[in-house]
Amino acid sequence: MVLLAGAGLLARSFAHAMSVDPGFRLGDDLVLSASIELAGDDGDTRRAALQDALLARVRALPGVTQAGLVNGFPLGKGQFANGMFIEMTRVEEITNREQFTFDAPQFKSRTGEAEFRAASTGYFEAMGIPLLGGRLFDESDAPGRPHVAVISRSLADRQWPGRDPIGRFIQFGNMDGDLTGLRIVGIVGDVRELSPESLPGPMVYVNARQRPAVTSSFSVIAAGPGMAAIAEPVRRIMRDLLPESPYELSTVSAGLDRAVGSRRFNLSLIGAFAAAALALAMLGVYGLVAYAVSQRAREMGIRVALGAEPASLVRLVLKRAAWLTLAGSAVGLGLTLLASGAIDGMLYGVTAFNPVVLASVAAIMLGAALAASWLPARRILKQAPGLALRDV
Tell me, yes or no, whether 140 and 157 share the same domain.
yes
Whether 95 and 196 map to the same domain: the answer is yes
**Cβ neighbours of residue 360 closer than 8 Å, sequence gap 6 or more:** 8
* Residue-wise pLDDT tens digits, 260-298: 888 889 889 989 999 999 899 889 888 888 887 777 767
34 and 109 share a domain? yes
Q: Which runs of consecutive H residues, i.e. helices, occur in the chain?
A: 2-19, 43-59, 123-127, 153-159, 231-241, 252-259, 261-295, 297-305, 310-338, 340-344, 355-377, 379-382, 385-389
Residue 7 lies in a domain: no
Cα(58)–Cα(223) distance, rounded to whole angstroms?
A: 10
Q: Are the C-beta atoms of 131 and 186 separated by less than 8 Å?
A: yes
Q: Is the pLDDT of residue 83 over 60?
A: yes
Q: What is the pLDDT of residue 390?
A: 58
One domain for residues 211 and 265: no
User: Both 213 and 294 in a single domain?
Assistant: no
The total number of residues written for the chain in this structure: 392
Residue 391 burial class via C-beta count within 10 angstroms: exposed 0-12, middle 13-18, buried 19 and up: exposed
φ and ψ at residue 187, rounded to 5 degrees: -125, 130
Give the CA dihedral 112, 113, 117, 122, nearest 10 degrees: -50
- The verdict on 34 and 177 lying in the same domain is yes
| Integer angstrom CA distances of residue 102 from 91, 173, 174 | 17, 12, 11
**Residue range(s) defining the domain that contains residue 96:** 24-259
Q: Residue 217: inside a domain, yes or no? A: yes
Average pLDDT over residues 212-225: 93
In a domain, 40, yes or no: yes
* Residue with more model confidence, 257 or 57: 57
Q: Which residue has the higher pLDDT, 161 or 378?
A: 161
The DSSP result for 24-89, as a single string, is S--SS-EEEEEE----STTHHHHHHHHHHHHHHHHHTSTT--EEEEESS-TTTTS--EEEEEEEES
Kindly state whether residues 84 and 191 are assigned to the same domain: yes
Out of 213, 236, 259, pick the residue that ends a domain: 259
Cα 126 from chain centre? 20
d(Cα 43, Cα 37) in Å, to the nearest integer? 8
In a domain, 3, yes or no: no
pLDDT bracket for residue 382 (50, 70, 90) = low
- Provide the β-strand partners of residue 118: 206
Q: Is residue 80 predicted with pLDDT exceeding 80?
A: no
pLDDT band with cut points at 50, 70 and 90 for residue 218: very high
Highest mean pLDDT among 203-217, 332-346, 378-392: 203-217
Q: Which position has the higher pLDDT, 179 or 374? A: 179
pLDDT band (50, 70, 90) for residue 169: very high
Q: Is residue 378 part of a domain?
A: yes
Query: How many domains in the chain?
Result: 2
* DSSP, residue by residue, 297-328: HHHHHHHHHTT--HHHHHHHHHHHHHHHHHHH
- Residue range 66-84: average pLDDT? 81
Residue that finishes a domain, picked among 213, 241, 259: 259
Helices 261-295 + 252-259 axis angle, to 10: 60
Among 194, 226, 259, which residue terminates a domain? Answer: 259
Q: What pLDDT is attached to residue 180? A: 93
Q: Is the pLDDT of residue 356 over 90?
A: no
Considering the domain architecture, whether residues 40 and 118 belong to the same structural domain is answered as yes
Q: Is 387 helix (H, G, I), strand (E, B) or coil?
A: helix
Q: Who's near 276: CB < 8 A, 6+ residues apart?
A: none
Cα 192 vs. chain centroid, distance in angstroms? 9
What confidence tens digit (pLDDT) does each residue in 36-56 have? 988 887 888 899 999 999 999
pLDDT band at residue 311 using 50, 70 and 90 as cut-offs: confident
In sign, the C-alpha dihedral spanning 332, 334, 337, 343 is negative
Residues 216 and 75 in one domain: yes
pTM: 0.80
Q: Which residues pair with 356 in a beta bridge?
A: none
pLDDT tier, 368 (very low <50, low <70, confident <90, very high otherwise): confident
Map residue 100 onto helix, strand or coil: coil
In a shared domain, residues 353 and 265:
yes
Residue 6 lies inside a defined structural domain of this protein: no
Instruction: Quickly count: other Cβ atoms within 10 Å of residue 372's Cβ.
Output: 23
Flag whether 228 is in a domain: yes
Angstrom distance (rounded) from CA 147 to CA 167: 12
* Residue 155 pLDDT: 96
Q: What is the structure's pLDDT at 77?
A: 57
Whether residue 386 has pLDDT greater than 60 = no
Q: What is the pLDDT of residue 106?
A: 84
Neighbours of 193 (CB within 10 A): 23
pLDDT of residue 353: 80
94-111 pLDDT tens trace:
888 888 888 888 888 899
In-domain check, residue 296: yes
- pLDDT at residue 190 greater than cutoff 60: yes
Give percent of the chain above pLDDT 70. 94
**pLDDT at residue 335 tops 90:** no
More confident residue, 206 or 6: 206
Q: Give the pLDDT of residue 100.
A: 86
Do 267 and 255 share a structural domain?
A: no
Please write the tens of the pLDDT for every residue from 191-217.
Answer: 998 888 888 889 999 999 999 999 999
Clarify whether residues 237 and 196 are in a common domain: yes
